[in-house]
Structure 1
């Protein structure tokens, strides 16, 4: 599995960014949103139970990530058409403000090393990538446990502070001073 300090892999994936495909599905690659921090989160399958809670939560915090010059990308191994159908059938997903990426060939997921060994779907992986494309944070949950999006935002704040951030540190609190 790729980890802290590794370069995030190159990719070129179809994205769902709206509720119809009249304009097609745009392609997204690692060079898009150049100069921004990027948060990639992966989920196992569309039309499941834990996954929409995560997608909705990232959508709810989208403006907070934007304030921090960070672009969110959600991704699974489902196709762009499955993403679109799910988005249109689930009221909480209808207005997601970030792209849903389709890694149907599993190229990005395999490059990252986050495919479940027997299920062949993505683990619940989250990557925070700095503007130079370097991985600065990785967390991976088993299929049965959703991630904490507030914690992802807190970690981004800590990374961007470039200071020493103690356990449970929050923005506005003092940083640790090295002696």
Structure 2
């Protein structure tokens, strides 16, 4: 699995648009996205194993509810699975939890991005519940992966993004608004 300091791979994928535009149907709901889309912004890219499952919509909906908070931090959120854009659209239409999703759902149908990141489950052949925070230069600054049966905490992803954006030393459980560590003071106190 690619990790902190690695460049996020180049990609060109079709996505279902976020918001109301994503519910208008084929031809209107789809957009082509690449690693250059939203250039200059922080990116949070999270993967789920399959559409029409049980844990996945809880995570997708939770990321969607935080889309405004990520945007306030000059970050975009992309959700990705290996299902097609048509499956994503059908799922949005038929699942109340993600119908009004504000983030795009990217289709890694050929598994090229998932393979490049090294996040395909060896047995199931679908993406792990992997999450990447990518800086505006395209470098991975945080990477996390859960197994197929355990959901992640999007609020923690937001907390880590906040910490990364301070460019300071942030202690355990640090949250936005708290003091960062002052290495000089800590050294002098020792």
CA drift of 1:63 comes to 0.3
What CA RMSD, in Å, does the superposition of the two structures yield over aligned residues?
Answer: 0.7
TM value normalised by structure 1 = 0.98
User: 1:2-151 counterparts in 2 under 5 A?
Assistant: 2-17=2-17, 18-19=22-23, 20-23=25-28, 25-151=30-156
Q: How many residues align?
A: 179
CA drift of 1:47 comes to 0.4
CA drift of 1:24 comes to 5.4
CA drift of 1:21 comes to 1.6
CA drift of 1:25 comes to 1.8
Give the Cα separation in 2 of the matches to 1:147 and 1:116.
Answer: 16
Question: Per the alignment, do residues 174 and 105 of structure 1 end up closer, same or farther by CA in structure 2, a change over 3 Å counting?
Answer: same
Give the Cα separation in 2 of the matches to 1:100 and 1:53.
Answer: 14
CA drift of 1:136 comes to 0.1
Corresponding position of 2:161: 156
Bigger-Rg structure (1/2): 2
What residue ranges of structure 2 are gaps of 5+ in the alignment? Answer: none
TM value normalised by structure 2 = 0.93
